[in-house]
Amino acid sequence: MGDGRAGLMTVGDQGASPLRSPAFRRFLLAQLVSATGTAMAPVALAFAVIEQGGGARSLGIVLAANTVPALVLLLVGGVLADRVSRSRILFLGNLGAGAAQAAVAVLVATGTATTAAMSVCACASGAAAAFTTPAARGVVSRLVAPGRLQPANALIRVPRNAVKVAGPVVGGFVVSLAGPAWALGWDAVTFAVAALLLAGLRLAGAGPAGGQRAGLVAELRHGWAGFRSRVWLWSYTLSGTAVVAAWLAGYQLLGPLVAERSYAGAGSWGLIQGAFAAGLLAGTFVCLLWRPRRLMLVAVVTSSGLFLPLAAMGLGLPLLWVLGAAVVAGAGMDVAVVAWSTAMQQQIPDAELGRLNAFSSLGEQLAIPLGYLVVAVASAYWSGGHILLVCSAVILAAGVANACVRDVRRIRRS
């Protein structure tokens, strides 16, 4: 497999820590810098919409403008990640996202922000994400030895999860003291710094086998054939379609409402979110110490733990139980992400990694709008607690069904 790693490591590096690789340290630093801005952005964006007189409808339009291009262009981004320099894609994508956030910051600072203008910027940012996401997922296997993929994947999660704990709090203080424009401006700066760091990686494209380059449609067909031929891959994606939709509809949509009615409102919901973020961080350190052999089975079982906090809130258990469930769910989710990433990098040729990651991501996200719609309709007939229990049952059932797939149990660490 011509994956371009020869210029980045030697045989003696196989057992070395990923942190001994200068290229990996550069990539890790870029992730850390970018994460500090990304953690503040949602808070800043919400209050930027509020400042210009918008409400839930305006915020929904802006968020949709960010999400739709990311889904529409994701498969194109996957193809490019397999045929063009991934470091160049990451450089241009982060630069584009930074320019979009800078434009929003200027609009908000000058008092000229409108829902339409912010939606255009959000659309540009979402389009950039469609190209950077598949490219970023194919970088780690280029930077570290095959035997160090899991610790490398876990180390990348450390900055992301650490800022998830403190980032929203810091972002809230920045917005309240200086205004949302400053937080959005900082996000733009972090994108630009990350772009410069990633440009220095100089990773060539994987290129198709034999050096022949097919058209976009042909490469998508080839990627689809590779995706469909791997039962463990499409079954996990199919399970993820149900899990992600049920989790987001239950946690993001109903969670705050149930916290308001059954617990102490915003304070309790903040604690639940903090507990989940703390669990994510704990899961990262678990992955640095634990190296399971059955990677896909571990990913299925640990991701199924997302049913716990939904079930706890649905049953009306005391807040302490909900917090404990959120910590366990967060830890399981992070273990699942690391195990899944490692399995993908070990089982799929580098020249197909971008496309297959794109197909998987698209499959998991397609049902999210449907999940929101179903929960919104069901809330007119059922209580929030009952719907949360249904969402938790969907997550658990999808996990059990996926664990029964023989190919999922067959995938082991290389």
pLDDT digits (tens, 9 = 90+) for 354-367: 888 888 888 888 87
Token output for 366: 């397609």
Q: What is the distance between the alpha carbons of residues 35 and 29, in angstroms, rounded to a whole number?
A: 10
pLDDT at 210: 44
Residue written as token pair 């540009």: 124
Token output for 158: 């450390």
pTM equals: 0.75
- HSE (CB half, 13 Å, CA atoms) of 385? 10
pLDDT at 329: 95
Q: What is the pLDDT of residues 276-332, one digit of tens each?
A: 888 998 998 888 888 888 989 999 999 999 999 999 999 989 989 999 999 999 999
Q: For the chain, how big is the Rg over CA atoms in Å?
A: 21
Q: Which parts of the chain have pLDDT scores under 70?
A: 1-16, 54-57, 59-60, 168-169, 204-214, 266-267
pLDDT at 392: 94
Taking Cα atoms as reference points, which of 390, 164, 340 lies closest to residue 237?
Answer: 340
Separation of CA 176 from chain center: 27
